[in-house]
Amino acid sequence: MNIKDYLLAGDPTTSARKLARLARSRYQRVRARVAENPAASEALLVALSIDAVDDVRAAVAGNSRTPYGLLVYLLEDESADVRYALAEDYDLPPEFLDWLSQDQNPYVAQRAKKTLEHVYPFDRLRSA
């Protein structure tokens, strides 16, 4: 892996054109860094959300600029790792965390419940 590409992929000042080139890297770590980059465009995040590598899709899930509709799509990702990344995101809308708290994977479901308890502790007490 080219360390320069890795650093550029994570740099929010990298141009959109360079990020688009880096998003096609053969190295998954570079693609994941692009997916984490707050400067990544919506179109780039959409393209990376269908990457074959779970870590890249999980990085898209963790990007604060990922659009709502794309998060909905990722809620049903085949990879438990991607859903887990969503379940541990404190900024995820509560309805998404509620959805993930019912996930068929017990680790994802438990993580979503813990995130809900941390972010909305008083809401959980009232519903108990």
How many Cβ atoms are within 10 Å of 97's Cβ, its own excluded?
A: 23
* Residues 87 and 54 occupy one common structural domain: no
Q: Above 90 in pLDDT, residue 36?
A: yes
* Residues 49 and 100 occupy one common structural domain: no
Q: Above 80 in pLDDT, residue 8?
A: yes
* Residues 41 and 92 occupy one common structural domain: no
Per-residue model confidence (pLDDT) at position 125: 47
Per-residue model confidence (pLDDT) at position 119: 87
Q: Name the domain boundary from 45, 66, 87.
A: 66
Whole-angstrom Cα distance, residue 50 to residue 11? 22
Q: Name the domain boundary from 66, 92, 119.
A: 66
Q: pLDDT band at residue 122, thresholds of 50, 70 and 90?
A: low
* Residues 97 and 41 occupy one common structural domain: no
Domain that holds residue 53: 1-66
Q: What is the pTM of this model?
A: 0.89
Which one-letter DSSP state was computed for residue 101? T
Q: pLDDT band at residue 123, thresholds of 50, 70 and 90?
A: low
Q: pLDDT band at residue 121, thresholds of 50, 70 and 90?
A: confident
